[in-house]
Structure formats: structure tokens, C-alpha cells
Chain A
């Protein structure tokens, strides 16, 4: 959003504020309730009528919160991985034997869960034994492949592809540097990792060809796929950066689309589940909705006192929930 534009359309008045009472670091919708993961201990469920339910899931900081739509799985500095369902019931999925912090968790098909602690990656199926993989360095973010039971794990020096159920040795895609998080493209053809440097790296799995996506002004802390996998929306610059993944070469040799330019850095992105619209959160608390087709922008939240730290669309795309590092939170009803 150029500051010299005239007033742009706004849905700010359609936002119902939520008094989180604590910094918000994650948000997901479970059925018709928005669930805010607070910095410490608590998941805050907020219904359409504004009624709240607070569920204590960890005895300390909540370091990760992911969801598959039916449950939210959180991990914390108490060394535990906990699942909470739509009615607020919790189930302990894992406890780290060495009480290590768990700050990365991923959900896979059929209730599979993976997490990392220290130099190890762990995976268990819905009801199953825990499998573990030792890595040469600290295990970072994880991701399940869209098909088959494979888990990608980011670490120093590259990304390792693990087949927990098979005898096959894990395959490592090497690239020097610290890889923080990793994602598969929805069609499973590409792996993308965010790095300590202001750059993304990736591999085309078919031939392990390296891909570099660079030009960012800062680390990419948020990435999200457009529902069909055609675009990868990313933060880390003073605008929304979208990489094209449609063709057989993915982003290789292509320029990204750059939309929603602003004077501050984008720090969070969330893609609409059906339409080609991306919610972009900035470091001053501003949230813009940006339509990919023509770059049209809609203001969803005015700048505040802290960076946007979490955003999520409801499954039907009618609502957008958000939170900031300061605890400012709300749910926009866009129906």
C-alpha cells in the first residue's frame, strides 16, 4: 500500500476485537471458533457471538501451534506436544524424555504428527509408536509430503527427507547455511526452505535441482501456499512477494510478483482458502487483503503498536482472525 494512495476500501469496521490479554503467536479456526495461541500456556477459543473459552495446554511458553482444521496441536518449552480438539478437549501426544523445548511441529495425513527437539526428529502416526531420526545438527522445521509418509526436516546445511516407515536411508538435500523451516509444494514436486539469511532455498525433487529465491530485505518468517499451489506467498520484504510454482520449472528462471508495497516490512501472510487473495500482516500491525489478479488492496487492520504475529482464514473464507505481538487481536467477518 503506497502511502500516497487515496483512501482504500476498508473492512476495519467489520472486525470484532478480541481481548487476548497476552501476546498472540498463532491462530487457527476449529469449526466455527477462532482459536488464538497465546505466548504462554493458553489457547483462547472465541465463538461468533464473542463468547470465550480458555484452555490451558502448556505449563510455560507455547512455541508452535499448527492445525489441520479438526484439531490444534501445540508444542511448548515444557517439552510437550498437545492436541486440542474443537470442543476444547486436550490430549497429550508426546513428552520429550530430556525435557527439551519443542518449537517445531507438523501435521500429516491420518493424524500423523512430527516434531523436533535437539538434534532429533520424531514422528508418530495417530495411534502408534514414536519413530525417531538422529540428525547431524539441530532439527528445525518439519513438513509432511502431500503423499506417502515422508517427512522433510530443515537443519544446518540442508533439508533431510525421512521415510519413517520404510527401511530407506534418509535423503539429504544439501545447501550451506542454516535452514529454518521447510514446506512441500501442494503437488509434492518441490521443497522450499526459509533460511537464516534473507533468502528462500528450494529443490525440485525429481532431479534435486537447487532453486534460489532471493531479494528479501529480511528473513522470511511466514510462507503460505495459495490453495491450488500456483503461488507461494511470502513475507520478508516491504511488500508481498509471490513466487510462481505452476509450471514444470516452478519459480526457476522466473521473477516473483510483488504486490501491496508499503513503508514497513511484511511479517505474516495467510492465503484465502478459495480465492486468490492474500492477507498480509506488517511489522507495524497493519493488515492488508490483496487480490492477486490485479493487486487491489483492502484495509483489514490499521497499524498499531506491535507486529502482526498470527493470521488465519476460516475454512469457508468468510472470516479472518489475527493477533499481534502485543495481544491486539480480532476476527474480521467478511461474509
Chain B
């Protein structure tokens, strides 16, 4: 088998109804970038461009037969990708557009779970288009909207012309309360250089570099953590840090862990595997770069629910501080337990 055959990158485009997904899609299909896309959509009629390779999908999710409710897969995607591969030379990449209410997890998991799909294609990024004016309301009343933000690698806060700068910063703060590492862009009419949404390699283990943007420091989490969270409303809970508002969504959280001491591989691997098995349904995504004791290489991993993949990435450089950083994004995560569990994996020898 040709090992060097390039896997076709797949971009998942998600976003609540009316946010501007279709506008972005039409942009991608009409700009003169010289690339050909196969597009998988739910509603045929929406695309204004005549593209050879537009396929209508049924968005059918089914549970794997292992009894785990979070192990869901897009069956129709498996079939469509199989069919698209018959016309392999005719497109450079695939875009999967999901409906407004879709949970991105099954789409992503499809690439981890089906061998054929995993052999021929690779997930490039989850791109979420959000409506600057309505997102905060949606985050309050639509769990799907939260999922789409939590899952994203790139978020377009679209229709910024309809909101004030203060509202915009509020929206960004709420997004950051859910997703600490997605790249945020402010856009109007989904105008964005296409290399910010395509060819991101966000699921490429080689590229797991930036886990924490400057916005969110590990310290802040420790600080907020000491506030007793006894109440359970489903709205953001804010604090101020020198003028910058921090939002922590009561239900959806991100947990950032770090250690300057290397981790014991005999403790770390069971920890991460057991955690994703036990809390799988609650963990939407996780990413990490870890320094292992007596290991000159960085170990990087990422996961979607219970599915984890990881590998050695490269050697630590001489001048690089060997800091381990791990991020979990999920719902109702047992934060204390996770922190303690992580701390217990630090090498004691």
C-alpha cells in the first residue's frame, strides 16, 4: 500500500442557524484559490455555486455496539467518504457542513473509528461560525451551541457589524470560558482569509503546540477554583481580573493542568486512559503536551470523548522548559479529582 499517499484533509463546518456557515461555504467554493472541494451538506439548495462534488447527507448518527452512549459515529459520512474515494483525483479536500443543531463529536469520532475513513482522510479542523449578536443567548438556551463552541479549533464571530465593541468582548469572554484554545476571529459576512479556516492541521499531532493562548493563564484557574461553586445556574459566572472579565460557564468547563516536573509514564498513561474511559461522555475534547521522566521527546495527545490518540512528537530543545500542559473541555467535569489525579502522576523518582 502506498504509505506516502496523502490523506485528504476534512474540514468540519458547524454553527448555529443563521450564523453565516453557508456564506462561508459559498466563499470557499467561489474564491479563485485553485483548489477543488468535495462538499457534504444537509440541504442541497443552499449552496449558490454549481459544484460538481456536492453530496447531500442524512446526518445519521448511530451508537457503536460497545454500550457507550458517547461512542457515536456518522454512518452516512462513512458511506459518503467511501463513495467519494472512487473519484479520488477530483478533489483536494472535503468540507462537511453540519446542521445548526448538530453535535460535532460524532463527526470527529467517525475519523477515529472507521479504519477506511481514517486511512484515506484526516480531520483538519472544526470551524464554528457564531453569530456575534445572538451567541450569548444561544449559549444560555441551546446546549448544541455550547458543544459547537467547545469543539472548535477556529471560531468566526460573525456579523460583528451588528454589535458594539463591548458586546463583542463579552461574547469573546464567554467563548473563552468554554474553549481556551480555539483561534477567534471577528468577521463580517464571513470574510476571512481562507488559510485561517482551511488547512489548519488542528488534529495533526505534530501541530499540537499552542494549548493556551495568552488570555488564560493556569494561575487564574487556581484562583477561581477557590470560589465555592455551590449554586447551579446555567449561566456564566464572572469575576474581574484587572479589568478583564473572565467567564466560567457553570456547565461547560475547560480545565487546564500544568506541571514543571516531568510525569511518570507508568502513572500518567493509566491516568489519562482511565479518565477518558470513566468521564468519556463528559469530556468533549482534550489535548496535551507532556514531558515524561527520562524521555527526551515530547509526548502529545488529543482526544474526543473516549477516543485518544497520542505519539512522540519531537525532542525537547535544550532551551525549552519541559513543562507539561493538558487541557480538557467538557461538561460537569470533576475538577478536583482530575487535578489531584494529574498531580499524582508527577514523577517522584
Contact = CB atoms under 8 A, between A and B. Distances in A.
A39 B2 contact: no
A103 B79 CA distance: 9
B193 interface: no
Contact of B75 (A62, A156, A218): A156
B87 A196 contact: no
Contacts of A177: 62, 64-65
Interface residues of B, number: 28
B189 interface: no
B60 interface: yes
Contacts of A176: 63, 65
Contacts of A284: 1
7 contacts: A39-B86, A62-B86, A77-B86, A100-B56, A118-B58, A138-B58, A195-B65
A137 interface: yes
Interface in B88-132: 88, 90, 114-116
Contacts of A283: 1
A197 B116 CA distance: 12
A307 interface: yes
A39 B1 contact: no
Contacts of B78: 196
A61 B83 contact: yes
Nearest to B52: A60
B41 interface: no
A176 B75 CA distance: 14
A137 B60 contact: yes
A219 B115 CA distance: 9
Contacts of A305: 1-2
A84 interface: no
B264 interface: no
Interface string A276-319: 00000001100000000000000000000111000000000000
Contacts of B75: 138, 156, 178, 196
A63 B58 contact: no
Interface of B: 1-2, 44, 52, 55-56, 58, 60, 62-65, 73, 75-76, 78-80, 82-84, 86-88, 90, 114-116
B75 to A, nearest CB: 5
Of all A-B residue pairs in the complex, the 5 with the closest CB atoms, nearest first, are: A61-B86, A39-B86, A177-B65, A61-B87, A156-B62
A40 interface: yes
A63 to B, nearest CB: 5
A40 B58 contact: no
A101 B1 contact: no
A29 interface: no
Given A39-B88, A118-B58, A177-B65, A103 B2 contact: no
A197 B62 CA distance: 12
A162 interface: no
A292 B116 CA distance: 29
Most-contacted residue by chain A among B63, B76, B87 (CB, 10 A): B87
Contact of A156 (B2, B60, B88): B60
B115 A25 contact: no
Contacts of A307: 1
A119 B79 CA distance: 13
A23 interface: yes
Contacts of B65: 176-177, 195, 197
Nearest to B66: A197
A101 B55 contact: yes
Given A25-B86, A103-B79, A305-B2, 20 more contacts: A23-B88, A40-B87, A60-B52, A60-B87, A61-B86, A61-B87, A63-B86, A101-B55, A119-B58, A138-B58, A138-B76, A138-B79, A176-B63, A176-B65, A177-B62, A178-B73, A196-B75, A305-B1, A307-B1, A326-B2
B1 A306 contact: yes
B23 to A, nearest CB: 24
Contact of A77 (B2, B55, B88): B55
Nearest to B87: A61
Most-contacted residue by chain B among A99, A156, A307 (CB, 10 A): A156
A119 to B, nearest CB: 7
Interface in A57-102: 60-63, 77, 98-101
B88 A218 contact: no
